[in-house]
Amino acid sequence: MHASLHERRAAIEALCRRFGAVRLEVFGSARRGDFDPDASDADFLVTFAPDRRDDLAAFLDLKEALEALLGRRVDLVEREAVEASRNPIRRRRILAEAETVFG
């Protein structure tokens, strides 16, 4: 996990609690180590509490709050969507490299 995420972990955890996420995982360049602080986005898998799963506002608010906190574009993807993906290569790659940030 990139150092910028470690430095902001407490704030990230607070955002997850605020918007009803029970798990947040990082994947992509911020996880692998080829993260470019000037150009890379941050990729996250999110799992929401059962009562927030269909709450589009919570999803979008969490995405925007993470972008504001990290100062970069965030790609937020529901873990359930990746698990249900019909592309087995992509599914395995993302799930294999995901590292828990919260939850």
Please tell me the pTM assigned to this model: 0.92
All structural domains of the chain with their residue ranges: 3-102
State residue 1's pLDDT score.
66
In CATH terms, 3-102 corresponds, of 3.40.50.300, 3.90.25.10, 3.30.460.10, 3.30.830.10, to 3.30.460.10
| Closest listed residue to residue 45, CA positions, set 82, 2, 19 | 82
Indicate if the pLDDT at residue 70 is higher than 70: yes
Predicted confidence (pLDDT) per residue in 22-57, tens digit = 999 999 988 988 878 788 899 999 999 999 888 899
Strand-by-strand arrangement of the 99-102 sheet: 74-78, 42-48, 21-27, 99-102
Query: Which amino acid appears at position 102 of this protein?
Result: F
d(CA 64, CA 62): 5
